[in-house]
């Protein structure tokens, strides 16, 4: 496990096996995924612990993450299996904790479970 | 990542929210790229200036942070969307103009040098060899690493901004060492700038962070810029090492077949409604050469020329600008072919250009057809 952006958060997990392109497929006002082909289509990522493989697409997507936070529609934390610079810098701008985990760890997390993230504690992620 | 005590304090917010955010960006980028520490950088070149690329979210972000943020090192900036001197001649909506003005004001408030250029290596002094810099413009990063003896990764708009605010950058990848994964053997005979642009585009596709290229003759400025521009467009590779490299490197030929594949990918039209020159922007040498080539000739259709403001002013003093305007050219500073809002598919079907970088963005972002031609062919076919 690796911490990209430090912090604490607690909330329900929204999990997808699809990568997320923040530029153009996430509605900034509502936090709803607008890409019809995405597993999370029509779902809001607001106030969630968002668990997904990685971000994809233009690095300008980092501004979208910042906008989500300004609009109070951002996830509380993000957990990925691969570090990509769009998510890393977007969450750094917005001050949203980001943790990188292994594929095995990723398998253990289920959609809908409650989870807390604390980058100061020994177990970075705690499931309830 | 190991941080100094002062860096730790900044990350904790002891030196204000702006520096805290900047250090969060550096640490997140550093952790993502396996850097062990931060190193000082002396010059940052920012992308994310054109409203076309950063949109409302970028404009709002910059407006917000510019209330407090100040750059700490020499900071230059990429082109924006248009030239304020002649924007009234183009059919651009007021919203674009006011948002672009806000972005320009935000950067200037932060203390950047208002260069609005993608060729900082041609218009500013180059620091001494081995100096760490932080360039977010891809062609400039490649040029800096390959020709200017500087060290930079291919930075994002955000990591370069964080470097500008802190004077630091994560010590990773090309800042540490070069490990080219491939050697490209240039086999094209009598190459022109278009061939070098396509070679660059090919190299960007097969190279990881750096490539060896062998079989290159002596390139003029136009050709070397074309190669850097093409390479920055197609991948993550940010350094050319000239020569064969170690025998362990995979070898790939760049011959007629490889070049044709790229030509077919980017050339989508038989002819263009207008011509653009400059992506990367033209320097004074190229303007001077173009003026000489156009002596006694005039373009039969519109020709847009993109150049930095400082070059435009020099060209005006020397008299080149008059000559180019006489030949029918529109000279634009502070902006570039690539991601220009001045070319749109409602009024233009296709564009003739000698730039591979320009071609890629015209095709994919502006959605217009592209007709690729070398400068000599453009002058031969499109002027009389």
Q: How many CA atoms lie within 13 A of A110 on its CB side?
A: 4
- Arithmetic mean of pLDDT, A1-20: 97
Peptide bond into B280 cis (omega under 30): yes
pLDDT at A96: 98
Distance from CA of B307 to the nearest CA of A (A): 25
Q: Would you say residue A57 has pLDDT above 90? A: no
Q: Which residue of B has its CA nearest to A60?
A: B54
Select the residue from B1, B3, B23, B25 to test the A interface by mutation, using most A Cβ atoms within 10 A. Answer: B25
Mean pLDDT of A25-42: 94
CA pair distance B258, B183, nearest whole angstrom: 15
Whether residue A23 is predicted with pLDDT greater than 90 in this model: the reply is no
Q: pLDDT at position B229, please?
A: 97
Question: Given a cut of 90, is residue A34 above it in pLDDT?
Answer: yes
Residue A49 distance to chain B (closest CA, Å): 18
Picking from B72, B46, B277, B48, the residue whose alpha carbon sits closest to that of residue B140 is B46
pLDDT of residue B255: 98
pLDDT of residue B38: 98
* Domains with residue ranges and CATH for chain A: 2-127 (3.50.30.10)
Task: Tell me whether 0.85 is exceeded by the ipTM.
Answer: yes
DSSP string, B323-366: HHHHTTEEEEESB-STT-TTS-TTT-SEEEES-HHHHHHIIIII
- Please judge whether A59 and B156 are an interchain contact, meaning their C-beta atoms are less than 8 angstroms apart: yes
Which residues of chain B neighbour A63 with C-beta distances below 8 Å?
Answer: 54-55, 57-58, 61
- CA B27/CA A124 separation, integer angstroms: 17
Q: What span, in angstroms and rounded, lies between the C-alpha atoms of A16 and B204?
A: 31
Distances in whole angstroms, Cα of residue B206 to Cα of each of A103, A110, B25, B281: 28, 38, 29, 26
Residue range A57-83: average pLDDT? 93
Report residue A42 as tokens.
């029509």
CB-nearest to B32 from A67, A83, A95 is A83
Residue B369 corresponds to which tokens in the numbers above? Answer: 């057809």
Residue A58 pLDDT > 90: no
Quote the pLDDT of residue A24: 82
Q: Which residues of chain A have a Cβ shorter than 8 Å from any chain B Cβ? A: 2-5, 28, 59-60, 62-64, 66-67, 70, 83-85, 88-89, 91-93, 95, 98, 100
Is A44 a catalytic site residue? no
Q: What is the pLDDT of residue B219?
A: 96
Give the pLDDT of residue B145. Answer: 98
N residues, chain A:
128
Domains assigned to chain B: 5-175 (3.30.499), 183-263 (no CATH), 267-382 (3.30.499.10)
Nearest to A15 by CA among A44, A40, A46: A40
Over its length of 384 residues, how does chain B's per-residue pLDDT go in tens digits? 999 999 999 999 999 999 999 999 999 999 999 999 999 999 999 999 999 999 999 999 999 999 999 999 999 999 999 999 999 999 999 999 999 999 999 999 999 999 999 999 999 999 999 999 999 999 999 999 999 999 999 999 999 999 999 999 999 999 998 889 999 999 999 999 999 999 999 999 999 999 999 999 899 999 999 999 999 999 889 999 999 988 889 999 999 999 999 999 999 999 999 999 999 999 999 999 999 999 999 999 999 999 999 999 999 999 999 999 999 999 999 999 988 999 999 999 999 999 999 999 999 989 999 999 999 999 999 999
Separation in Å, CA of B21 to nearest CA in chain A? 6
The phi, psi pair for A9, rounded to 5°, reads -160, 160
Contacts of residue A69, Cβ cutoff 8 Å, sequence gap at least 6: A93, A94, A95, A96
Per-residue pLDDT of A83-123, as tens digits, reads 999 999 999 999 999 999 999 999 999 999 999 999 999 99
Q: What's the rounded Cα separation, in Å, for the pair A93 and B54?
A: 14
Instruction: Give the separation between CA B294 and CA B315, rounded to whole angstroms.
Output: 15
With a cut of 90, say whether residue A77 has pLDDT above it.
Answer: yes
CB contact under 8 A, B25 and A92: yes
């Amino acid at each position: 496990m690796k911490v990209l952006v430090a912090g604490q958060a607690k909330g329900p997990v929204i999990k997808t096996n699809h990568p997320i392109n923040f530029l153009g497929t996430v509605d900034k006002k509502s936090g709803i995924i607008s890409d019809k082909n995405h597993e999370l289509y029509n779902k809001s990522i607001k106030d969630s612990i968002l668990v997904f493989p990685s971000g994809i697409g233009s690095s300008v997507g980092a501004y979208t993450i910042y906008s989500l936070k300004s609009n109070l529609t951002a996830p509380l934390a993000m957990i990925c299996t691969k570090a990509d610079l769009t998510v890393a810098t977007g969450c750094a701008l917005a001050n949203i904790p980001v943790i990188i985990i292994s594929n095995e760890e990723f398998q253990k997390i289920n959609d809908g479970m409650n989870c807390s993230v604390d980058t100061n504690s020994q177990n970075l992620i705690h499931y309830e | 990542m190991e941080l100094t005590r002062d860096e730790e304090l900044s990350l904790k917010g002891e030196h204000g929210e702006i520096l805290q955010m900047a250090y969060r960006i550096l640490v997140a980028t550093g952790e993502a790229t396996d850097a062990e520490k931060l190193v000082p950088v002396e010059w940052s070149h920012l992308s994310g200036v054109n409203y076309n690329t950063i949109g409302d979210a970028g404009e709002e972000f910059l407006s917000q942070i510019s209330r407090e943020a100040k750059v700490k090192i020499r900071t230059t900036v990429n082109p924006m969307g248009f030239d304020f001197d002649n924007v009234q001649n183009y059919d651009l909506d007021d919203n674009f103009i006011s948002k672009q003005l806000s972005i320009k004001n935000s950067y200037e408030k932060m203390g950047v040098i208002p260069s609005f250029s993608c060729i900082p290596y041609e218009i500013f002094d180059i620091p001494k060899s081995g100096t760490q810099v932080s360039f977010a413009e891809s062609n400039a990063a490649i040029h800096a690493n390959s020709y200017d003896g500087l060290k930079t990764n291919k930075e994002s708009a955000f990591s370069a901004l964080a470097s500008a605010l802190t004077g630091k950058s994560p010590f990773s990848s090309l800042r540490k060492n070069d490990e080219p994964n491939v050697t490209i053997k240039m086999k094209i005979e009598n190459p022109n700038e278009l061939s070098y642009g396509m070679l660059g585009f090919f190299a960007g596709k097969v190279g990881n962070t750096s490539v060896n290229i062998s079989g290159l003759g002596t390139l003029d400025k136009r050709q070397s810029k074309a190669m850097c521009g093409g390479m920055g467009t197609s991948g993550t590779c940010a350094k050319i090492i000239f020569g064969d490299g170690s025998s362990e490197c995979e070898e790939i030929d760049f011959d007629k077949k490889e070049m044709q594949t790229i030509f077919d990918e980017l050339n989508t039209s038989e002819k263009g409604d207008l011509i653009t020159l400059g992506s990367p922007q033209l320097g004074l040498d190229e303007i001077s050469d173009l003026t000489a080539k156009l002596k006694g000739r005039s373009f039969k259709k519109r020709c847009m020329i993109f150049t930095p403001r400082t070059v435009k002013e020099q060209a005006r003093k020397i008299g080149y600008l008059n000559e180019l305007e006489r030949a029918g050219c529109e000279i634009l500073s502070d902006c570039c072919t690539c991601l220009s809002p001045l070319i749109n598919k409602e009024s233009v079907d296709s564009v003739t250009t000698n730039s591979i970088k320009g071609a890629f963005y015209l095709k994919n972002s502006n959605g217009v057809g592209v007709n690729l031609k070398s400068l000599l062919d453009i002058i031969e076919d499109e002027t009389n």
